[in-house]
Amino acid sequence: MFFASDNWAGAHPNIVAGLSAAAGGFATAYGDSALDQAVYQRFNEIFEREVAVFFVATGTAANSLSLTTFSKPGGISFAHRESHVIEDECGAPEYFSGGARLHAVDGALGKIDAHNLERTIGRFAPEIVHWGRPMAVSITQSTEVGTIYGLNEIETIAAIAKRHSVPLHMDGARFANALVALDTTPAEMTWKRGVDILSFGGTKNGCWCAEAIVLFDLDRAKELAFLRKRAAQLFSKSRFVAAQFEAYFKDGQWLDTARHANTMAARLAAAIEDSAHAKLAWLPQANEVFAVIKKTEAAKLQAAGAAFYDWHKPHGFDGHIGEDELLYRFVTSFATSAEEVDRFGQLIAG
Amino acid sequence: MFFASDNWAGAHPNIVAGLSAAAGGFATAYGDSALDQAVYQRFNEIFEREVAVFFVATGTAANSLSLTTFSKPGGISFAHRESHVIEDECGAPEYFSGGARLHAVDGALGKIDAHNLERTIGRFAPEIVHWGRPMAVSITQSTEVGTIYGLNEIETIAAIAKRHSVPLHMDGARFANALVALDTTPAEMTWKRGVDILSFGGTKNGCWCAEAIVLFDLDRAKELAFLRKRAAQLFSKSRFVAAQFEAYFKDGQWLDTARHANTMAARLAAAIEDSAHAKLAWLPQANEVFAVIKKTEAAKLQAAGAAFYDWHKPHGFDGHIGEDELLYRFVTSFATSAEEVDRFGQLIAG
Amino acid sequence: MFFASDNWAGAHPNIVAGLSAAAGGFATAYGDSALDQAVYQRFNEIFEREVAVFFVATGTAANSLSLTTFSKPGGISFAHRESHVIEDECGAPEYFSGGARLHAVDGALGKIDAHNLERTIGRFAPEIVHWGRPMAVSITQSTEVGTIYGLNEIETIAAIAKRHSVPLHMDGARFANALVALDTTPAEMTWKRGVDILSFGGTKNGCWCAEAIVLFDLDRAKELAFLRKRAAQLFSKSRFVAAQFEAYFKDGQWLDTARHANTMAARLAAAIEDSAHAKLAWLPQANEVFAVIKKTEAAKLQAAGAAFYDWHKPHGFDGHIGEDELLYRFVTSFATSAEEVDRFGQLIAG
Amino acid sequence: MFFASDNWAGAHPNIVAGLSAAAGGFATAYGDSALDQAVYQRFNEIFEREVAVFFVATGTAANSLSLTTFSKPGGISFAHRESHVIEDECGAPEYFSGGARLHAVDGALGKIDAHNLERTIGRFAPEIVHWGRPMAVSITQSTEVGTIYGLNEIETIAAIAKRHSVPLHMDGARFANALVALDTTPAEMTWKRGVDILSFGGTKNGCWCAEAIVLFDLDRAKELAFLRKRAAQLFSKSRFVAAQFEAYFKDGQWLDTARHANTMAARLAAAIEDSAHAKLAWLPQANEVFAVIKKTEAAKLQAAGAAFYDWHKPHGFDGHIGEDELLYRFVTSFATSAEEVDRFGQLIAG
């Protein structure tokens, strides 16, 4: 009953097999091998157009370098107040960009509110050096609290970004979970709606270590190559990432594992809804479930072997949390089994 | 006959097996799993004392964060003119440290000359803000040109660093190759001779992606934890590195693969010495061989399937390179076979 | 009727005279001249203890270097949402510190609310690298909207900072205006209440260009010397700043000019209060007056020669601003005359 | 007999008078006043074309921001080994640019040797991320050792820079001294010979604090405006710099003071040539004189009231320096009198 995080899981057997299969032989280093090239081509197919792909070591690197790609002196990026770039990356986006600021924008349940964004970004006057100036907008899909931007919502936010002449970045650490939940295509969820650069995560969805920046603005590819190397994010044996992505995409495995994780989240949510001891905080849309539970009850669950963390109340959550209660987060993954979820359901039912 | 680089090889079967074995089950993320902890303990044993270990994604990251650990405003690190930190990292050490300078020091065949170091570092007066001030000394073991610092040479350089109140960093991207060549212990080659921080590389010696910073100055461990995270070098599924290192150290495999690579280099050097078409540029001490070859001859070898690069003439090389010749580098690894070397030997003999 | 900013004024005649008097002769550069030394001593006297003084070129430099003095990886400084460091310095504090974040804290009328600060800073857990960690608290005295922290309020905020092991910085671009308004001493308003580092501004109060960092934590003085030089803020002919400060402090001139500016602000506020066309937004405590005025009326005043800017509504202002009105800011200085104020009073009365 | 540095002098009376004259009245801040605008126009006239002018606080700021204007990831600037940017700015150029490297190029007597430059810059292959890539060339006119690039030499270096697609920066801390020595025009010595950006110094030539970046590539002006503000180099009361430059340019005063300084240097050199106790190290071309003197003799001169520093032996100096001798630097300025020089001449003659 490991619901603490989707990165507590190891690697999916198919990923392991792919990695093992690629281990032998010699190949050019630093992302130029035939396998690397084939995987870049695979990304083109998946996104239905030419894209520039840059493997990096971590999601934090993907996000930080994505924003740095569009960096400028006095630059300010706009992201949700509870976004990963603001809350969980130790200031890496600011560090990588030499100090470009992240400006928190509010919105209910992990999603930037378009009106807030417009009002916030609209306050800046790009010619007044004192204030700094807009540099990028960043959204997370799916969000930190398991919600999802609809395609039209992405389009709306992209339109605001464009109106203010800044690019739209998508933090897709859980890209696949959103994709299958929306039942759409990678192209539709990104560049067709105005996304300019994407952090494409494979790690949380069954890889060991497979993160990529997908850049739609090809003119910036050459610079990003230097940015990545300078940031110590260019793997020598790059094919070890390529091999993971090859297996990840093969026969739609990435969609299967994401679907499985989402299904497990829904199953968990149903168990919580049925429980007398817990209230579902809001409806999960991807692979994260949030519930309000009595602290004593949560402690019992944890004592019985369930791993999960309490979470701070997100902006826009208007449910009641009693003095003796807390909000808790449960994350499912490719490795979550229905048996585990059901066992948890029995515990919480009780 | 792939002698282009030791990172053209994939992963050693034992590393692959170790990684596969660790893929199942759930474990805490970000370096706190039981496996991570066990590997940290293994480092303590190998270095015969408590050390602080930080896994990172690349050798460039290990070097850059090592130097940044000792960063200060106006800081200047001293490294060999042809060192990796100066020549091959796209300015990452300067970038990570917010602009701390790398100052080139000369010395024959890849090794800092102690007199040059003393003279160079001695020019600075730490209280004069205009000039900046010494911050670290960095040596590479084994060097970029396949030579090795003797233990007494390390001690001499460490003494100079200490006299000027700066730490000594060792870039150990090919640490194991030097270790077995000197037939010494990790402790003797590092902290017992005055090394304060070490980039410990596993990737070139058979891992997929296993690099670590080994910090002997434990007081700085807390800061380095933040430095690493801020630099986007903290893996979520950190156990994928731990599993590699576990297999790497098991039954002395790392020493075996390093020994093999060095042996193959010696075999290759012998073949070159015997050849009428090539001159050994200097004696290899680790897993890199340098030879002066006619361009036309080199082209023939490449056409016959041998992969290797030409190299710029290092400081202190006083051999003759004719107009129609170039200096070439040959690198061996765990994956180099005696058959390959012999096949190359036959080609070059001819 | 120039109420646009206190830096629209030139230099006070005494400052000009002091500067002229120091122009002849030779003196050591870079802050070591006898005049520089004498002025440092003067700062010691004024602050009733030994302080380390660093002249810099701008208030932005003073603030940015002050915060950078306490910089650490993942560091976060807490400042009022409408503070100068956040709103008006083009990201300089983040840039100078290599990306350390500024976290906005709310509070009414330009002052950090202590409860908000405690709650905000208390959310961080210094050992969790992902979140970053507190690095400093910064307050502005007097604030951007002409209000003043009482001595006990400074003490309360300093206590919160200390409890969380971070220093307290004071942006004193308008230090003298607050000082005379509170009728207290520099020591009482700073280190005796827990301030660790101060941006001491002379420019807005009659100097040409006289800004200093006053550091109470002397252990950090050596590092700040390097930080300043590296930041290109060490003047060669440093005595041109020293000469200004010498004249500034002589016979309490700095207190006289500040008192004059505050008196003119009060006079202006009274005129506004008497006017049928304007409402005082809140009581001015230093040299800035804010009023709600009909846009058409403001345009008339401007057409008649009054210079002033509209201002965004600060947090905690609960007065009414009609559709046809705006909030406007009026700043007085050493150069503001009673005649000007009265002329404006007549215009607005009518 | 103050020959220690040209920044030991104060300000020229005409500069003081100009500054005093501009002290009264109100004017818009941050470089937008009528006086600022008039001075920008003056720069256009002086350079015989439209230029973008940015006042900054120090020569270090001018140099660092000039290079940062052309910054790129992995960027490397080429400057003479003994240039101010490398030796005397505490790493500010690297810091401002987020780590862009300065690469030392050798050449005799403070001037980059064109062949060395070509060979050094030619080693880089702009598409190989590991090596970094050329970003700028920087020359100093007049140099740190009082020599001057001829117009054709500037042109040659500019051509190399252009061939490698990088801009040419000129550090003109002593621009006027070189200008009058060459008897040429500002346009001829800069953009007409291929200079793209210039650090234009007034401080060493009689101002208190008047440094400007003169940018010939107008497309980059908007970015530099943000760079300057973010670097805390935008003065609020900018007219205090404008007033100095106004007086500086008036009736060719800047040329007069530079000519005077150069003449004094020549007079000093003649006195040294005549002396039995000192040897002129090389012929001075601007306002710096270098001589080899016995240490005991130098000590006597200093005891008699002469202020000057010893200097390290520059690259390309092939004169003899005995065991009991040192190389010493003597700098003249607008404030150096013929009497002083002659008094020194008598001392050294004797």
Q: Which of B88, B94, B123 sits opposite D130 (nearest CB)?
A: B88
Q: Nearest residue of B to residue C230 by CA position?
A: B74
Residue D63 burial by CB count (10 A; 0-12/13-18/19+): exposed, middle or buried?
A: buried
pLDDT at C350 over 80: no
Sign, Cα dihedral of B338, B339, B342, B344: negative
Would residue D5 count as lying in a domain?
no
Cβ distance of C73 and B226 shorter than 8 Å: yes
* First-last CA distance in chain C: 16
Question: D74: which chain A residues are within 8 Å (Cβ-Cβ)?
Answer: 226, 229-230
Task: Say whether residue C225 is in contact with chain D using an 8 A CB cutoff.
Answer: no
Residues C238 and C269 reside in one and the same domain? no
Q: Is omega for the bond preceding A199 within 30 degrees of 0, making it cis? A: no
Residues B212 and B270 reside in one and the same domain? no
- From the CA of C126, how many Å to the nearest CA of chain B? 10
What number of CA atoms fall less than 13 Å from residue D221's CA on the CB side? 12
DSSP state of C2: B
Q: Identify the H or E element spanning B297.
A: helix B295-303
- CB under 8 A, 24+ apart: contacts of C219-227: C220/C52, C220/C69, C220/C70, C221/C52, C223/B72, C223/B73, C223/C69, C224/C52, C224/C54, C224/C65, C224/C69, C225/B129, C225/C54, C226/B72, C226/B73, C226/B74, C226/B129, C226/B133, C226/D90, C227/B73, C227/C65, C227/C68, C227/C69
Q: What mean pLDDT value characterizes chain B?
A: 97
Question: B74: which chain C residues are within 8 Å (Cβ-Cβ)?
Answer: 226, 229-230
Residues D180 and D39 reside in one and the same domain? yes
Which distant-in-sequence residues (6+ apart) come within 8 Å of B37 by Cβ?
A: none
Predicted local confidence at residue A135, as pLDDT? 98
Residues D236 and D264 reside in one and the same domain? no
Residues B208 and B281 reside in one and the same domain? no
Cβ distance of D229 and C90 shorter than 8 Å: yes
Q: Interface pTM (ipTM) of the complex? A: 0.97
* Rounded average pLDDT over C4-14: 95
Q: What mean pLDDT value characterizes chain A?
A: 97
CATH of the domain at D345: 3.90.1150.10
Cβ distance of D10 and C25 shorter than 8 Å: yes
* Rounded average pLDDT over C275-300: 96
Would residue B5 count as lying in a domain?
no
Predicted local confidence at residue B342, as pLDDT? 97
Among A163, A109, A164, which residue's Cα sits nearest to residue A286?
A109
Size of interface B-C (CB pairs under 8 A): 42
pLDDT at B318 over 90: no
Q: Nearest residue of A to residue B337 by CA position?
A: A25
Cβ distance of A89 and B229 shorter than 8 Å: yes
Task: Say whether residue A122 is in contact with chain C using an 8 A CB cutoff.
Answer: no
Residue A96 burial by CB count (10 A; 0-12/13-18/19+): exposed, middle or buried?
A: buried
- From the CA of B79, how many Å to the nearest CA of chain C? 22
Q: Nearest residue of D to residue C96 by CA position?
A: D231
Task: Say whether residue D74 is in contact with chain A using an 8 A CB cutoff.
Answer: yes
pLDDT > 70: percent of chain A: 100
Predicted local confidence at residue B62, as pLDDT? 98
* Rounded average pLDDT over A191-202: 98
Task: Say whether residue B136 is in contact with chain D using an 8 A CB cutoff.
Answer: no
Q: Nearest residue of D to residue C90 by CA position?
A: D230
pLDDT tens readout for residues C192-208: 999 999 999 999 999 99
pLDDT at C17 over 80: yes
Would residue D320 count as lying in a domain?
yes
Q: Which of B9, B95, B96 sits opposite A26 (nearest CB)?
A: B9
Task: Say whether residue A72 is in contact with chain D using an 8 A CB cutoff.
Answer: yes
- From the CA of A102, how many Å to the nearest CA of chain C? 8
Cβ distance of C19 and D19 shorter than 8 Å: yes
Q: Which domain, by its residues, includes C161?
A: 14-251
Q: Nearest residue of C to residue A95 by CA position?
A: C99
Task: Say whether residue B91 is in contact with chain D using an 8 A CB cutoff.
Answer: yes
Task: Say whether residue A130 is in contact with chain C using an 8 A CB cutoff.
Answer: yes
* Rounded average pLDDT over C254-274: 97
Would residue D8 count as lying in a domain?
no
Would residue C39 count as lying in a domain?
yes
Residues B33 and B98 reside in one and the same domain? yes
DSSP state of C287: S
Question: A64: which chain B residues are within 8 Å (Cβ-Cβ)?
Answer: 232
Q: Nearest residue of B to residue A21 by CA position?
A: B16
Question: A132: which chain C residues are within 8 Å (Cβ-Cβ)?
Answer: 90-91
Q: Is B272 in contact with B292 (CB distance < 8 Å)?
A: no
Predicted local confidence at residue D127, as pLDDT? 86
Distance of CA A136 to the CA centre of its chain: 17
pLDDT tens readout for residues B50-94: 999 999 999 999 999 999 999 999 999 999 999 999 999 999 999
Where a domain ends, among A252, A276, A308? A252
- From the CA of A98, how many Å to the nearest CA of chain C? 6
Residues B236 and B345 reside in one and the same domain? no
CATH of the domain at B41: 3.40.640.10
pLDDT at B131 over 80: yes
Question: C136: which chain A residues are within 8 Å (Cβ-Cβ)?
Answer: none
* Rounded average pLDDT over B295-323: 93
Where a domain ends, among C251, C284, C318? C251
Lookup result for tokens 């270095």: B47
- From the CA of B310, how many Å to the nearest CA of chain D? 14
pLDDT at D72 over 90: yes
Task: Say whether residue B131 is in contact with chain A using an 8 A CB cutoff.
Answer: no
Q: Is B206 in contact with B15 (CB distance < 8 Å)?
A: yes
Cβ distance of D58 and C234 shorter than 8 Å: yes
Size of interface C-D (CB pairs under 8 A): 161
Question: B89: which chain D residues are within 8 Å (Cβ-Cβ)?
Answer: 130
Angle at alpha carbon of residue B74, lines to B71 and B76, rounded to 5°: 65
* Rounded average pLDDT over D12-34: 96
Q: Which amino acid is at C313?
A: K
Residues D130 and D192 reside in one and the same domain? yes
Would residue C6 count as lying in a domain?
no
Q: How many domains, chain D?
A: 2
Q: Which of C7, C12, C56 sits opposite D236 (nearest CB)?
A: C7
Where a domain ends, among C221, C251, C281? C251
- From the CA of A47, how many Å to the nearest CA of chain D? 27
Mutant choice from A1, A3, A6, A7 vs B, greatest count of B C-beta within 10 A: A7
Residues B224 and B336 reside in one and the same domain? no
Question: C127: which chain A residues are within 8 Å (Cβ-Cβ)?
Answer: none
Q: Which of D98, D130, D225 sits opposite A229 (nearest CB)?
A: D130
Q: Which of D73, D223, D234 sits opposite A230 (nearest CB)?
A: D73
pLDDT tens readout for residues B235-247: 999 999 999 999 9
Against a cut of 0.95, is the pTM above it? yes
Q: Chains that contact B by 3+ CB pairs under 8 Å?
A: A, C, D
Sign, Cα dihedral of B215, B218, B219, B222: positive
Helix, strand or coil, per DSSP, at residue D196 = coil
Would residue C180 count as lying in a domain?
yes
Q: What mean pLDDT value characterizes chain D?
A: 97
- Sheet with B288-294: strands ordered across: B278-280, B288-294, B325-331, B309-310
Task: Say whether residue C203 is in contact with chain D using an 8 A CB cutoff.
Answer: yes
Residues A58 and A69 reside in one and the same domain? yes
- From the CA of A235, how many Å to the nearest CA of chain C? 23
Residues A108 and A148 reside in one and the same domain? yes
Reported confidence tier of residue A261, pLDDT bands at 50, 70, 90:
very high
Q: Is C235 in contact with D61 (CB distance < 8 Å)?
A: no
Helix, strand or coil, per DSSP, at residue C182 = helix
Q: Show which of residues 30-49 on chain D sit within 8 Å of chain C, judged by CB atoms.
A: 30
Task: Say whether residue A131 is in contact with chain C using an 8 A CB cutoff.
Answer: yes
Cβ distance of B26 and A16 shorter than 8 Å: no
Q: Is A126 in contact with C129 (CB distance < 8 Å)?
A: no
Predicted local confidence at residue B224, as pLDDT? 98
Would residue B4 count as lying in a domain?
no
Task: Say whether residue A305 is in contact with chain B using an 8 A CB cutoff.
Answer: no
Q: Is A205 in contact with A247 (CB distance < 8 Å)?
A: no
Task: Say whether residue D337 is in contact with chain C using an 8 A CB cutoff.
Answer: no
Cβ distance of D129 and A223 shorter than 8 Å: no
Residues A300 and A330 reside in one and the same domain? yes
* Rounded average pLDDT over A134-154: 98
Q: Which of C72, C73, C234 sits opposite B129 (nearest CB)?
A: C234
Which distant-in-sequence residues (6+ apart) come within 8 Å of D269 by Cβ?
A: D280, D283, D284, D289
Alpha helices in chain C (DSSP H): 13-21, 34-47, 59-69, 84-87, 92-96, 114-122, 151-163, 175-182, 186-189, 221-230, 239-249, 253-274, 295-303, 338-349
Q: Is omega for the bond preceding B142 within 30 degrees of 0, making it cis? A: yes
pLDDT > 70: percent of chain C: 100
pLDDT tens readout for residues C148-179: 999 999 999 999 999 999 999 999 999 999 99
Q: Show which of residues 139-178 on chain D sit within 8 Å of chain A, judged by CB atoms.
A: none
Cβ distance of D16 and C20 shorter than 8 Å: yes
